[in-house]
Amino acid sequence: MTDLQQPPVAARRPHSFTRHGVTVTDDYAWLRDPGYPDVKDADVLAYLEAENGYFEKAMAPHKALTDALFTEMKGRIKEDDQSVPQKDGDYIYWRAFETGAQYRKWYRKAVAGGEDQLILDEPALADGHDYFRLGAMSVSPDGRYLAYAIDTDGSERFEARIKDLLSGEILPEVIPDTLSSLVWTSDSKGLLYGLANENWRTDNARLHWLGQSVDTDVELFHEDDEGFRVSIGLTSSEKWIVLSTGDHVTTEAWLVPADNPTAAPMLVAGRLPGREYDVDEHDGTLYIRTNDVHPNFRLVKASLDAPARWDEIIAPDPHFYLTDFTLFKGFYVTEGRQDGLDQIELRDYATHTPKRLPFPEASYSASLDDNPEYDVTTLRIGYESMVTPDTIYDYHLATGDLEVLKVQEIPSGYDASRYTTERLMIPARDGTEIPVSIVYPVDLPRDGSAPLHLYGYGAYGLAMEPGFSTGRLSLLDRGFVFALAHIRGGDDLGQQWYLDGKLDKRTNTFTDFVDVAKGLVERGYTSAGKIGISGGSAGGELMGAVINSDPALWGAVVAHVPFVDVLNTMLDETLPLTPGEWPEWGNPIEDKAAFETILSYDPYTNVSAQDYPPLMVTAGLNDPRVTYWEPAKWVAKLRATKTDTKLLLLKTNMGAGHGGKSGRFESLHETAEEFAFLLWQLGVEG
């Protein structure tokens, strides 16, 4: 076992390249196994195992704290929990955990009566595997068959199978390497799916007929642009199958009759660079959400005879970001954010007059929940906030009443009156007001003495919802403030908010995060050096950027599967995700300005000889999104370059991927480890 005072040292093997007249050194490039995803290089594995050993030895003295945190967190989980049953056709469906189980079981029961039927047993499927994840699953329209897909190593290459729910038999046909939803044809005899190609890109939609060999499956659609991905869906009426293709900024959709899947696909509207849209159908009319005239999207309609000729229904609004719409038989629902706060509106097809559902708190998360049927009299809605546990409602259309169906149960007890939540606006250095969702104990001293945990992401137009977390209570109950920074790069305040944090404006994301932290210090919530921060994937890139720019501000940092080798990844078009990522980050191969922008902030390239805060880094050996060598190279370079002796840990999950371990308790234990590290480094152990 490695001595804790002597952390692993990765060999430096000189390597450099020149692009656009700039030479970049990368002495740890060798940590990328050329055989990836089959990692067998002895030196690479030895280094990762040495780092794992160092991690275990460093955390061993704090095992009691980790165990205590885990026990607390587990005590807040109702182990024998189940979802609210929901009707879909002739059956009512629900899922349930049993006490002690890592995974769910899925059930149904006939509406007409009868016994409960176990239709999918995740614990049985996971047995014998270190990792398990259920992907897509879909019951056929006649209720007889269940199609489902599983991943048993974290590589996100799923294996699709089909179960006869009448006999319990698993059909002999097995479809490997799927990476899509599973959509049935109207007659329940055919299944559409998408295969991941050798570069982990779904460039196709295929059709499988039950009872036939998978080798005879037909490709219905193929995408030639290597930056685009194909997805498969179904309209709300279930009359049409939607074949969509696109990248981060452009989409194109085709329609296929669900009762005639081999018919020639009908193009809705051809791809235009920068135009996104999604489509649904009601009584022969297409409804389309698009950003063609404004980044906050509008809703238009078109006829099936002229699908590319659009008439506006809901005009775009600079203060309202239209994020989604769902069609039902007698009405439709739009979802969006008004100045960053979730809104749900019901509209009739004749006048399109909105009826907005009221929500009581200043900061919250609300959305449609599970609503599988087309003709409904109630709507299933989910609501939570940073102090309100997840709550499931039925909204009764006739009366406007909200009926509480389930409130997240916390067995060890929870008193919401002990905490308070706020929504702050903190100015960034360019004057832009950044929203911050914050929760803290009601008796918090506002003298800068409290520790604070700040979380951020800021990429891909993904908003950070101010939801509830039972795990977070372990920090709040130790006097922490928890803050969520709604920084640019997400779409928290609309599509423009996203555009203002990507490509040549990417550094806004990092400076927003730093400025939020400084603003919280100025307001007395905490002090510099008392701030723990964390983020994963692109949020891990955020961690890497802000510890390079403002290392003294942070008291402890956790970077999960961090995307920190941005320049090298975006320069390598052979990597599975790279071509599709250029619209998000820029193409440094062809564009000198993009190269210079990425080079200016790339966390790995910009590691410098300075003091850094204590840092815990995680990776997944099978991760196809952020390859394991990114965090490994980053840690190796930090060890060799930084001027302090503060703790730097790397933990690589050798049998998992992007999301870490898969079981609910194994995942919880990883959270407990993270919190133990933060408490230890911030001096709040206990």
How far apart (Å, rounded) are the C-alpha atoms in residues 459 and 502?
A: 7
* Active-site residue (options: 236, 486, 623, 662): 623
How far apart (Å, rounded) are the C-alpha atoms in residues 392 and 407?
A: 6
Catalytic residue list contains 623: yes
Radius of gyration of the chain measured on its C-alpha atoms? 25
**Number of Cα atoms under 13 Å in the Cβ half of residue 86:** 20
List 424's β-bridge partners, or say none: 436
Question: Is the CB of residue 486 less than 8 Å from the CB of residue 500?
Answer: no
How far apart (Å, rounded) are the C-alpha atoms in residues 534 and 617?
A: 10
Write out the H or E segment, with its range, that includes residue 334: strand 332-338
Catalytic residue list contains 492: no
| Dihedral pair phi/psi, residue 187, rounded to 5° | -85, 5
| Dihedral pair phi/psi, residue 304, rounded to 5° | -65, -25
How far apart (Å, rounded) are the C-alpha atoms in residues 119 and 105?
A: 8
Least Cα distance to 202 among 230, 182, 244 occurs for 230
How far apart (Å, rounded) are the C-alpha atoms in residues 661 and 618?
A: 11
How far apart (Å, rounded) are the C-alpha atoms in residues 501 and 584?
A: 10
Burial (CB count within 10 angstroms: exposed 0-12, middle 13-18, buried 19+), residue 208 = buried
How far apart (Å, rounded) are the C-alpha atoms in residues 511 and 509?
A: 6
How far apart (Å, rounded) are the C-alpha atoms in residues 390 and 367?
A: 11
427 upstream amide cis, omega within 30 of 0: no
Residues in the chain: 686
* Active-site residue (options: 453, 515, 658, 662): 658
* Residue 84 Cα to chain centre, angstroms: 23
Instruction: List Cα–Cα distances, 518 to 152, 523, 545, in angstroms.
Output: 43, 9, 16
The tokens describing 438, both together, are 């914050």
How far apart (Å, rounded) are the C-alpha atoms in residues 338 and 322?
A: 9
Catalytic residue list contains 658: yes
* Active-site residue (options: 534, 537, 560, 662): 537
The tokens describing 503, both together, are 């490509």
Return the SS3 of 667: helix
Query: What residues are labeled active site?
Result: 537, 623, 658
